[in-house]
Amino acid sequence: MHRVLRIALLFLLGGLTGTAGLARLVDTSQADQEIQVIETSAKKYEYLPSPIHVKRGAKVQLRITALDRAHGFKINRNPDGSDKKGDAGLIFSSNDDCLKLEKGIPTVVEFLARTPGTYSFHCCNRCGIGHSGMKGQLIVEP
Domains, the chain, ranges and CATH? 34-141 (2.60.40.420)
Q: Tell me the pLDDT of the chain averaged across its residues.
A: 83
Reply yes or no on whether the pLDDT at 122 is more than 80.
Answer: yes
Q: DSSP character for 46?
A: E
C-alpha 1: how far from chain center: 56
**Share of residues in the chain with pLDDT > 90 (%):** 68
Reply yes or no on whether the pLDDT at 118 is more than 90.
Answer: yes
Give the pLDDT band (50/70/90) at residue 43: very high
Q: Is this prediction's pTM over 0.85?
A: no
Residue 19: per-residue pLDDT: 38
Give the pLDDT band (50/70/90) at residue 9: very low
C-alpha 86: how far from chain center: 21
C-alpha 53: how far from chain center: 14
123 closest CA partner among 108, 113, 133, 114: 133
Mean pLDDT of 91-102: 92
Give the pLDDT band (50/70/90) at residue 42: very high
Residues in the chain, how many? 142
Mean pLDDT of 18-47: 66
Reply yes or no on whether the pLDDT at 64 is more than 50.
Answer: yes
Alpha carbon distance 103, 105 (integer Å)? 6
